Structure 1
Amino acid sequence: MIQPKCIGKRILLTLGALVTLTLGIANGFATLATELDKPQRCLQERTYKMVGYNCANLNLKEIPQTLKSSLQIFDLSFNRIRDLNRHSFARYTDVKYLYLFENMIQNIEDDTFSELNSLEALDLSNNALKTIPQEIFRLPLLRNLYVAHNALSDLDRELTELAKPIRAPIQILSLADCWLTKLPNFGIMPDLWQLNISSNPMTELTVDQFSPMCNLRSLDLNNTQIPICSCQIITTELSVRRTKILNSHPHCTPLFSAEQSICAQDVSPAPPTSDYQQCIEIRTARKLNTEAKTAWFKISLGVLACIVLFSLILYCFHKRNAKSIKEGSKNGKKTTPIHKVMVPSGDELPIVENGNRDKLINDCD
């Protein structure tokens, strides 16, 4: 005979199993519902009055070709895209912000980006790239370029044939964790003000490699493997240029006294290089050009204001004259316009003496 206590335990176990099964089914349905709710197509969005498409995390293997060609923001992040070719963005030439990070991009065909003349920001981070397509550096409006977390160890050699100075006015450049041992030579970059080269084995980094970047204001050196002396010399030189340096290494402090480092004897005032001087000259020429344009704009505005004022004065005189004529006609008086000169008519010509004498002589004859 089964004891009541055992029956109670069996009932409790059975109820527990039912509850567990019910919760498992509920969780399964919840997971299924979540997967079903997940968008399976690109969603159109509008940001800052710009048309954009969010195609992130859709397991895409190629660029969609059925979206509005006038899109300006294109988010293709977190997909499975491997290859890009010249047809990938051929119909999206108005795009300004293109996000391709967290894909599997290995190959980019020549001229893939060459027609994107409106592109201002490009993110190719976290892919499998081994180089950067050179047409990217010819884009006329590209300001932000992110290529972090790619295998770009040979980038400096790949860019030997790059036309310099580059046309793209790059202001922000991210090369973090790209296996770089030295800074690639992009030529003169007078617009660059933020550079991230963190998490790279920068064993060949020197201060001269920063000479073409005379406008550099922020440099991220966190987790870089720079030799102590090189790091301190670079930090000292760039600090004089008022560049903010982010570095987690305690030994990489600026050198302002001989007691601060064992590298003090290696530090000497470095003469400005030709690249740095050229960079400064470009920025100075741009500043003068901007000031000249501003001055001509002010002069043109002043001349236009004078013309408008003179026109208003003439218009006021005209209105006043018309008003005077109208009031004179109402009062029955013939009003002479201000600008009209009185000339007597033929019947009212004054008689002169010579005229009377000639008349008498003619009468006597």
Structure 2
Amino acid sequence: MRIKMIWWWLLLLAAALCCAAFELPEKGRGCVVLRTHGMLGADCSSRDLRDVPQNLDTRIEVLDVSDNKIRELTTNSLSKYSSLRFLYLGDNTIYLADDGVFTPLSSLEVLDLSLNVFRRIPFDVLRLPVLRKLDFSQNGIILDDPDVYKGAPVSNSLKVLSLAKNKLKEFPPLWMVPQLEYLNVSGNELRSIKITDIAPMCRLKEIDASHNSKLFKGGLDKCDCYLFSTWIERRNIKLIPQVSLNCPPTDTELCENSTSLREALDLHSRCNSKVETFQRQAAIKKTWMWAGIAAAIFVIIVLTGALFMHCRNSSRRKVSANNNNQMVCNDVKKMPPDPSSSQLLQDL
């Protein structure tokens, strides 16, 4: 009886251990793995995480770690997930990212760092080769020191940038994103936008400057107003909100010979040179890629042809050898009997 009781207790203990091992993950520990638009992804949002999970499939292309309690990104935070294309880190309290934390993400296209406490855009982000969209809204960026981006790398891919709802009082220096097309600086404290601010972005199509209550409300020089309105009109840049700047009458000839315009044209020209360089490099890279593919196809065709010829020659040699053997056999059959051999048989 006592032995049976011991066995029952052992069975109950084993069952309890199994349940503990396979119980559903608690909040903050489990991520949902899913397929989205044909890509492998992981939803780790709203789980009270303090770090980026390290136990996910390294092949994931989409990772959502938004609405957690992450404060720092170390060099190992994202190093496992080099296949990422979409990364959402919004609504955390990230204030620090180690140098090189984003470097392994060479396939990253979209990065959301909104609702954090960064004070500037990490330089590593600008080095990402195919990043096209960056959300840096609601980070409390003040940009008191315009020299903070001195030495920053130039992004050759970024098309969309949001700096909405920060604390910008001056237009940020954005010479490092020459291919930018859409810029959102809404909900800040901007007082003015000058042509020298936007000239370094020679592919710019739209500026959302809404909800800047002090923008263009005094303090804008007559020439600055005229030049800005003329610049965006001639280059088809859409300004939101679409308000008339109501520039006061001014001497247009004097403004068009101003230092500001010459500086803006020089910045715009430099931007075009950078973009053309990027396009040439991309074209060369594409050419080499297709050349490599063509070379690989050529090698495969040559090897396939060589293998085919080898197989055909081998088959011919086998057929020829079989024919020769058959001829030998036929010749042996046709040979007349040896008289000496017949005499020996008779003697036996």
Q: Is the pair's TM-score, using the shorter chain for normalization, greater than 0.5?
A: yes
The alpha carbon displacement at 1:175 in A equals 0.6
Deviations 1:195-248 (A, max 9, x none): 011111123532211111111001101012223445675344212110111116
Which residue of structure 2 aligns with residue 163 of structure 1?
152
- CA separation of 1:109 and 1:39: change in aligned 2, threshold 3 A: closer
- Contact persistence 1:188–1:279 (CA under 8 A): no
Q: Which amino acid aligns with 2:247?
A: S
The alpha carbon displacement at 1:183 in A equals 2.7
Q: How does 1:143-162 map to 2 (within 5 A)?
A: 143-154=132-143, 157=146, 159-162=148-151
- Contact persistence 1:156–1:183 (CA under 8 A): no
Which residue of structure 1 aligns with residue 205 of structure 2?
217
Counterpart Cα distance in 1 of 2:175 and 2:237: 19
Match of 1:201 among 185, 189, 198: 189
The alpha carbon displacement at 1:142 in A equals 1.2
Match of 1:71 among 40, 53, 60: 60
Match of 1:234 among 228, 231, 241: 228
Counterpart Cα distance in 1 of 2:204 and 2:174: 14
Which residue of structure 2 aligns with residue 109 of structure 1?
98
- Contact persistence 2:119–2:139 (CA under 8 A): yes
Percent identical among aligned pairs is 27
- CA separation of 1:295 and 1:198: change in aligned 2, threshold 3 A: same
Match of 2:128 among 114, 118, 139: 139
The alpha carbon displacement at 1:156 in A equals 5.1
Counterpart Cα distance in 2 of 1:237 and 1:208: 10
- Contact persistence 1:173–1:192 (CA under 8 A): yes
The alpha carbon displacement at 1:180 in A equals 1.2
Counterpart Cα distance in 1 of 2:287 and 2:151: 37
The alpha carbon displacement at 1:89 in A equals 0.6
Q: Which amino acid aligns with 2:265?
A: T
Which residue of structure 2 aligns with residue 89 of structure 1?
78
Structure 2 gap segments, 5+ residues each: 1-24, 298-348
1:281 aligned onto 2:273 = yes
Which residue of structure 2 aligns with residue 21 of structure 1?
none
- CA separation of 1:231 and 1:116: change in aligned 2, threshold 3 A: farther
Match of 1:268 among 255, 261, 283: 255
Counterpart Cα distance in 2 of 1:100 and 1:237: 36
- CA separation of 1:283 and 1:82: change in aligned 2, threshold 3 A: closer
3-state SS of 2:270 partner: helix
- Contact persistence 2:75–2:99 (CA under 8 A): yes
Q: How does 1:280-359 map to 2 (within 5 A)?
A: 280-284=272-276
The alpha carbon displacement at 1:290 in A equals 7.6
- Contact persistence 1:132–1:155 (CA under 8 A): no
3-state SS of 1:90 partner: coil
- CA separation of 1:38 and 1:113: change in aligned 2, threshold 3 A: closer
Could you state the TM-score of these two structures normalised by the residue count of structure 1? 0.62
Q: How does 1:121-132 map to 2 (within 5 A)?
A: 121-132=110-121
RMSD (Å), alpha carbons: 3.4
Q: Which amino acid aligns with 2:78?
A: F
Which residue of structure 2 aligns with residue 247 of structure 1?
241
By relative contact order (CA 8 Å, sep 6+), the higher-ranking structure is 2
Counterpart Cα distance in 2 of 1:294 and 1:95: 22
The alpha carbon displacement at 1:291 in A equals 8.1
Counterpart Cα distance in 2 of 1:263 and 1:59: 58
The alpha carbon displacement at 1:182 in A equals 2.2
Structure 1 gap segments, 5+ residues each: 1-35, 254-259, 305-365
- Contact persistence 1:127–1:150 (CA under 8 A): yes
Counterpart Cα distance in 2 of 1:223 and 1:232: 22
Deviations 1:140-173 (A, max 9, x none): 1111111011111127546333335x13411001
- CA separation of 1:239 and 1:90: change in aligned 2, threshold 3 A: same
Counterpart Cα distance in 1 of 2:109 and 2:183: 17
- CA separation of 1:79 and 1:290: change in aligned 2, threshold 3 A: closer
Deviations 1:266-304 (A, max 9, x none): 88333452120122234455667788999998xxx9xx9
- Contact persistence 2:29–2:49 (CA under 8 A): no
The alpha carbon displacement at 1:44 in A equals 0.9
Count of aligned positions: 259
1:59 aligned onto 2:48 = yes
- CA separation of 1:236 and 1:37: change in aligned 2, threshold 3 A: farther
Counterpart Cα distance in 1 of 2:75 and 2:167: 28
3-state SS of 1:268 partner: helix
- Contact persistence 2:160–2:182 (CA under 8 A): yes
- Contact persistence 1:153–1:179 (CA under 8 A): yes
- CA separation of 1:141 and 1:295: change in aligned 2, threshold 3 A: closer
